[in-house]
């Protein structure tokens, strides 16, 4: 059963078409990878699903309900959370306070008191931040700030978690740690995950299926093994026509 359905999605910026008639279904309980070079339209798609941008055409449905005209806060409380490529926690708040803020302003049920403390403690532990709970976000390492970004998104209580390059800039060991953490969260919380990642080996390891975008168009969809052998994908990444393009995301 599809939790997220995207039908005929298009987005133009002036004369630039960032997304061109995209159809995409994310099955409930799956980890769905979204692959493409810079400028493919991946982050634009995320922004439309999360309500940060409006589509030029098409529609987005979450659990059967059309959401592409809703405000971002309403989409968040409906059960969709996203992270961003560039992490921007509240720098002067501690890791704990950052997560508490996400829970209080993003979670539909807005737990208080002991329920809030227990939820934040659980997220700190799940994301490997328990020992850094009282540390100011500005002083955290990049890997810790990436984990905090995930914890803040989880604090809103999502059913669909959209991750935008949470492994970018991490060391190979940190990438494997993040993969293990995401798999554990996916299994324990029953999450559906839609993930953008330029670390291709990581995307292949974690994804059940992968959709590939190229210059705003969907060019392939399938399991990681199928995607690795797809001639259109190989041509888009390694072929002669794969000229550098400006980032349209």
Find the domain containing 231 and state its range: 1-79+159-249
* 107 shares its domain with 50: no
| pTM exceeds 0.85 for this model | yes
* 163 shares its domain with 180: yes
Question: What is the rounded end-to-end Cα distance, in angstroms, of the chain?
Answer: 29
Where among 107, 134, 157 does a domain terminate?
A: 157
Q: What is the mean pLDDT of residues 7-12?
A: 98
User: For residue 110, is it within any domain?
Assistant: yes
Counting the structural domains of the chain, the total is 2
**Is residue 52 scored above 60 in pLDDT?**
yes
Q: What is the mean pLDDT of residues 82-105?
A: 95
**Is residue 248 scored above 70 in pLDDT?**
no
Q: Which two tokens stand for residue 190?
A: 């029953």
Give the total residue count for the chain. 249
pLDDT digits (tens, 9 = 90+) for 207-228: 999 999 999 999 999 999 999 9
* 14 shares its domain with 47: yes
CB 193 within 8 A of CB 182: yes
* 182 shares its domain with 111: no
User: For residue 84, is it within any domain?
Assistant: no
Task: Count other C-beta atoms under 10 Å from residue 52's C-beta.
Answer: 15
């Amino acid at each position: 059963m599809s939790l997220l359905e995207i039908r005929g999605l298009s987005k133009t910026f002036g004369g630039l078409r960032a997304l061109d008639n995209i159809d995409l279904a994310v099955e409930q309980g799956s980890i769905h990878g979204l692959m493409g070079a810079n400028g493919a339209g991946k982050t634009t798609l995320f922004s439309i699903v999360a309500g940060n941008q409006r589509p030029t055409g098409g529609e987005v449905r979450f659990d059967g309900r059309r959401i592409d005209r809703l405000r971002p806060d309403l989409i968040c409380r409906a059960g969709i959370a996203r992270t961003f490529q560039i992490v921007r926690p509240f720098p002067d708040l501690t890791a704990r306070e950052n997560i508490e803020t996400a829970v209080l302003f993003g979670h539909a049920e807005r737990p208080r008191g002991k329920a809030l403390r227990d939820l934040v403690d659980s997220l700190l532990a799940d994301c490997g931040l328990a020992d850094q709970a009282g540390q100011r976000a500005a002083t955290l390492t990049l890997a810790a700030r990436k984990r905090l970004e995930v914890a803040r998104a989880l604090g809103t209580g999502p059913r669909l978690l959209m991750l935008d390059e949470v492994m970018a800039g991490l060391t190979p060991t940190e990438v494997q740690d993040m993969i293990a953490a995401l798999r554990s969260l996916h299994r324990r919380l029953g999450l559906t995950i839609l993930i953008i990642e330029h670390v291709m080996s990581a995307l292949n390891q974690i994804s059940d299926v992968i959709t590939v975008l190229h210059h705003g168009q969907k060019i392939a969809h399938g399991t990681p093994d199928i995607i690795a052998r797809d001639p259109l994908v190989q041509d888009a990444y390694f072929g002669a026509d794969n000229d550098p393009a400006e980032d349209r995301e």
